[in-house]
Structure 1
Amino acid sequence: MKNSLFVALGGALGTLFRYIFNHLEYFTVFPYWTIAENVIGSFLLATLTGYVITKKVPLHWRNGLGPGLCGSFTTMSTFAYDSVFVAEYFSIYFASLYISVSLLFGITAAFAGLSLGKHIACQRNKEVDSV
């Protein structure tokens, strides 16, 4: 029950952040904001993962922040829709560019986040050991 509650709360926060983020944008046809949301979400989820694989974090926190918060902030369905939209209204070239940029930046952000999460956890371990 505790896990479900944390996932629901994280999901509500992630959805709220996504809503706010989407309303910051100026009108644009090209889906820059979907790229930004997914890159930020990839970075945050990987940072969290890097941290929790190094530290003992309770399951309800991992689930609330990972699938809950990050899962509701990012979006595969919008990415897929935007890919089709760009292909139809611009060109296959721009759709391919959009997909490539999204994947490249998302995966790069995930690698950077994973490294950062591990680094933060190791630094915290050093602080605890020196006390």
Structure 2
Amino acid sequence: MIVVGVALAGSVGAVVRFVIDSALRARSGSSLPWPTVLINVTGSLLLGLLTGAVLFHDAPAEMLTIVGVGFCGGFTTFSTTSVDSVRLIVARRYASAAAIAFGTLATTLVAAAAGLALTTLW
């Protein structure tokens, strides 16, 4: 049953990511992939919150598996960040590529840690 939950949640996460990413890119005039960065940071924050709920507040571990692995796994898209970084390198925008690659890594780690820390305040 958990496998089905992960699959369904992953599908929902991927669709939500597509809708949000498409809407943000349509409104953004930037050639940088900020919508992807925002989605990854938001997904990492949610994963930190879910992890904290399980670790510190006795939330069911199945919730972390289904929502964390499923939804957050489908919602976040680190492979797209990699492709975006390579595209920026091909376009010889080296500083932008580095900012996206390393900035995404740093901000997603901070977001996950912040989500985990926030759950200790409940």
Instruction: Work out whether the TM-score is over 0.5.
Output: yes
Partner of 1:29: 31
Task: Count residues with an aligned counterpart.
Answer: 119
Partner of 2:99: 97
Aligned amino acid, residue 2 of structure 2: N
Instruction: Tell me if the contact between 2:13 and 2:73 (Cα under 8 Å) persists in the aligned partners.
Output: yes
Q: TM-score, normalised by structure 2?
A: 0.88
Give distance in 2, aligned partners of 1:90 and 1:58.
47
Give distance in 1, aligned partners of 2:34 and 2:65.
28
Instruction: Tell me if the contact between 1:3 and 1:59 (Cα under 8 Å) persists in the aligned partners.
Output: no
Secondary structure of the residue that 1:54 maps to in structure 2?
Answer: helix
CA RMSD of aligned residues (A): 1.5
Query: Structure 1 stretches of 5 or more lacking a match?
Result: 121-131
Deviations 1:16-63 (A, max 9, x none): 211111221226421111100110011000111011111333333221
Secondary structure of the residue that 2:64 maps to in structure 1?
Answer: helix
Aligned amino acid, residue 16 of structure 2: F
Instruction: Tell me if the contact between 2:81 and 2:100 (Cα under 8 Å) persists in the aligned partners.
Output: no
Identity %: 33
Runs of 4+ in 1 over 3 A off after TM superposition: none
Aligned amino acid, residue 19 of structure 1: F
Partner of 1:56: 58
> Larger Rg: 1 or 2?
1
> How far does residue 117 in structure 1 lie from its aligned partner after superposition?
2.4
Aligned amino acid, residue 92 of structure 1: Y
> How far does residue 90 in structure 1 lie from its aligned partner after superposition?
4.1
Give distance in 2, aligned partners of 1:118 and 1:9.
29
Bigger shift: residues 53-62 or 99-108: 53-62
Bigger shift: residues 111-120 or 40-49: 111-120
